[in-house]
Amino acid sequence: MKTNLVLFGKPGAGKGTQAAFLKETYQLKHISTGDVFRANISQNTSLGQLAKSYMDKGDLVPDSVTIQMLEAEVNENQAAAGFIFDGFPRTTAQAEALDAFLKSKSMEISATIALEADEDVLTARLLERGKESGRPDDQDETKIRNRFQEYNLKTAPLEAFYKAQNKFYAVNGIGEISEITKRISAIISGL
C-alpha cells in the first residue's frame, strides 16, 4: 500500500523542508504543483501550453488541467512508495478530483498533514527569508498577510473535508526542524 500525503501549511511553515525529509525517509515522490506547472511550461508540453494560455490571460488554470498534470506525474513515478502532494488540493472540488483519480489507481490519500504556526512567527520568518532569497513576495508584510488570509479562506473547507475522512492531522510547525520531523514521523508510523 502506497503512502500518499497531502502537505498543508501557510507560507513559511516549513513545507519544503519537511517534504525533503519525507521524500528521503519514506521514498515518496514530492509533487509540488508549482514545480509541475513550471516544468510543463518550460518543456512546452501540450498541458504546459494549455496552462500558459490561461495564465497569459490572467486566468486561473482550470482544475481539469492541473489534475491531468498531476496524473502524468503519478503515472511516470509508479515505482515510488507513495506521493507527497504539495500545493494541491486547494479546494474541495480539487480534493474530490484527486480522490477519484487515486481511486482509479487503487490508491487513496493516507493522511493530510497541516503544519500549523502563529502568523506573527511566520511573518518574521518570511521577512528574514525575503532578505536572503530576494523574493519580493517575502519582503512585504502586507503581501505576506494577504497570502495567510487566502490560505485560511481556502484551506478551512479542506480541513473539514479530510476530517470527515479521519485523515487530517495538525502538527505544531514551530520548533527545531528535527522536532517537527519527529511529530510528522509519529503520525506516519501510526497510519
Direct distance between the N- and C-terminal alpha carbons of the chain, in angstroms, rounded to an integer: 11
Look at the pTM and tell me if it is higher than 0.85.
yes
Q: Are 159 and 168 in contact (CB under 8 A)?
A: yes
User: pLDDT category, 135, cuts 50, 70, 90?
Assistant: confident
Q: Kindly state the average pLDDT of the residues 175-191.
A: 95
Q: Say yes or no to pLDDT of 55 above 90.
A: no
Q: Say yes or no to pLDDT of 28 above 90.
A: yes
List beta partners, residue 113: 7, 169
The predicted-structure confidence for 79-122, as pLDDT tens digits, reads as follows: 999 999 998 998 899 999 999 999 999 999 999 999 999 999 99
Q: Are 180 and 115 in contact (CB under 8 A)?
A: yes
Which phi and psi (to 5°) does residue 105 adopt?
-105, 15
Write down the pLDDT at residue 67: 92
For the chain, the average pLDDT equals: 92
One-letter amino acid at 71 equals E
* Structural domain boundaries enclosing 20: 3-189
Domain count, the chain: 1
Q: Are 191 and 111 in contact (CB under 8 A)?
A: yes
List beta partners, residue 9: 115
Write down the pLDDT at residue 25: 94
Q: What is the CATH number of the domain that holds 124?
A: 3.40.50.300
And the C-alpha cell for 85?
A: 502532494
